[in-house]
Amino acid sequence: MVATLVVTSGVITSGATAATPTWTHASGWGFNATGQVGDGTTTSRSAPVAVSGSGHGFVRVSAGSDHSAAIAADGSLWTWGGNANGQLGDGTTSNRSIPGLVPGMTNVTKIATGSGFTLAVRSDGSVWAWGRNDFGQLGTGSVGGPQTTPQRVMGVPAVVDVAAGSTHSLAAAADGSVWGWGSNNFGQLGNGSTIDSATPVKAHGLGGVTHVAAGMLHSLALTNSATLYTWGTNSSGQLGDGTFIARSEPVKVTTLAGVVDMAGGENHSLAVRNDGTLFAWGENSSGQLGDGTTVSHLLPGVVPGLSGVVRTAAGFWASEALRNDGTVWSWGLNFKGQLGDGTEVNRVSPVPVPGLTGVSQISMSLRPAFSTASHTLVVRPAPTPAFQILLSPDGGSLTPGIPMRATVFTTPINGSEQKVTLGVSTKLLPPGVSVTFSPATVVAGGSSTMTFTAVPGTPPSHGESTPITISGSSALPSGSASAIFDLLITDSGESS
């Protein structure tokens, strides 16, 4: 029989099912000199582009100063961009413009990226860190050269959230306490001192904290009572307490209540209230407070023209808001297109990022050491990965006692990287016939050798072939596909 590559069933059901969440992936824009946008180039982007590898299904992203990280649907961790300090965690110092797997990091639930270093929380509450360590920001007890692979941070309780500033790290523990390590020259660790620490130290006077955020040299914490606390440098009024006084212990932002999200930028801060209102304070030289001016503020003020805000992000002199309709709005410095509006024009009031819908998370970076521009990542809906099964040949004659082989091809759809397990229901096989697959599981895009065998004495088909359904099934997302192989059984006296 002539070998052909034919879809014989037309059945393609691989992909999302009723029980499978909407598939998401990442898009990015802004400064891209080290590949931190993740589209396979080092060309800066003033409008959103898709991050490579949609088959990973990114569900959470974090934009570092010149690198990026994302958690995939299966809990694995992927990084890309600059890697001079080993911040990609792959054991090298080579930059990468598309996502690559961080070996050994499984069941990851939270991530944070700073200036040349990365933090990750796993489902067991453990914290891991790698990359730059000149201020002890990895929390491993030492200060010095970078680490190119993940190192566990010891001496901190089980963690539920992490944040990374320029050179300091924060963690919110399951017991409601806050811990910090790394640089502390302005009290950004919150422990009442200004001495750096290479091991975790507990911030004073905090309880019930569920979420932490970090600016360049200041810190923020949100409690389960929707109360916001800040500490660290206050040179531009970024602590929101009406002064320029740095604080080495957390202070309550008394003019705000009902806070549900917050972010720290270079020298400014943002907070979302439970009524969908966004507040901003601190440095405003590029309009990053979004109030239509370039006048800085020591106290939180409403960002006009925005409603229904659910999340916020802050970077180098720039800000973003995610609304409950899934749209993203941005304002401030736009030196390399980091506002995503297709221009490089600074904005003193929020403008929409065109073409973005269904966004569920946003992250904006602080500036790289060698530039005054940042980049943004978002999580948004993406076409659900799927696969198709094709057979070559799509039928054949099987002589008892003589194996017959064919090839099963799996074709990826929408960037699928699913692991496909191949099989045949034994109820579909004629008596005396068996089939094996080598290998039995392939990644979408791979192929398997299918071998049919029939024991001696198996009754022949007498010219009528038996349709055999070859099926494949997968997870992440759950799906299946199938194709038909027409099997004709001959006897030893018939030609094959």
Q: Are residues 153 and 302 in the same domain?
A: yes
Q: Are residues 277 and 351 in the same domain?
A: yes
As a whole number of Å, the end-to-end CA separation of the chain is 9
Backbone angles phi, psi at 57, to 5 degrees: 65, 65
Q: Are residues 290 and 398 in the same domain?
A: no
C-beta of residue 158 within 8 angstroms of C-beta of residue 200:
no
CATH number for the domain harbouring residue 32? 2.130.10.30
Exposed, middle or buried, 494 (CB in 10 Å: 0-12/13-18/19+)? Answer: middle
CATH number for the domain harbouring residue 447? 2.60.40.10
pLDDT digits (tens, 9 = 90+) for 22-33: 899 999 999 999
End-of-domain residue from the set 354, 381, 408? 381
Q: Are residues 69 and 160 in the same domain?
A: yes
Backbone angles phi, psi at 56, to 5 degrees: -70, -30
Exposed, middle or buried, 345 (CB in 10 Å: 0-12/13-18/19+)? Answer: exposed
Q: Are residues 346 and 442 in the same domain?
A: no
Instruction: Average the pLDDT over 55-84 and give the result.
Output: 97
Instruction: Average the pLDDT over 361-390 and give the result.
Output: 93
Query: pLDDT at position 19, please?
Result: 32
Exposed, middle or buried, 429 (CB in 10 Å: 0-12/13-18/19+)? Answer: middle
12 is a domain residue: no
246 is a domain residue: yes
2 is a domain residue: no
Assigned token pair, 170: 């924060």
Evaluate if residue 18 carries a pLDDT over 90.
no
Q: Are residues 412 and 268 in the same domain?
A: no
pLDDT digits (tens, 9 = 90+) for 216-255: 999 999 999 999 999 999 999 999 999 999 999 999 999 9
**Distance, CA of 299 to CA of 27 (rounded, Å):** 33
Query: pLDDT at position 496, please?
Result: 40
End-of-domain residue from the set 333, 366, 381? 381
440 is a domain residue: yes
Q: Are residues 290 and 251 in the same domain?
A: yes
Evaluate if residue 495 carries a pLDDT over 60.
no
Percent of the chain with pLDDT over 90: 90
18 is a domain residue: no
442 is a domain residue: yes
Q: Are residues 426 and 466 in the same domain?
A: yes
What confidence category does residue 368 fall into, taking pLDDT thresholds of 50, 70 and 90?
confident
**Distance, CA of 131 to CA of 69 (rounded, Å):** 13
Domain count within the chain = 2
User: What is the secondary structure of 142-185 as a DSSP string?
Assistant: --EEEEEEEEEEPS---EEEEEE-SSEEEEEETTS-EEEEE--T
Query: pLDDT at position 39, please?
Result: 98
Q: How far is CA 45 from CA 40, 337, 342, in A?
A: 12, 6, 8
Q: Are residues 373 and 391 in the same domain?
A: no
60 CA to centre of own chain: 4
19 is a domain residue: no
Query: pLDDT at position 6, please?
Result: 26
Query: pLDDT at position 139, please?
Result: 98
End-of-domain residue from the set 349, 381, 413? 381
C-beta of residue 99 within 8 angstroms of C-beta of residue 41:
no
Q: Are residues 234 and 326 in the same domain?
A: yes
Q: Are residues 445 and 375 in the same domain?
A: no
Range of the domain at 373: 24-381
Q: Are residues 390 and 333 in the same domain?
A: no
Record the pTM: 0.92
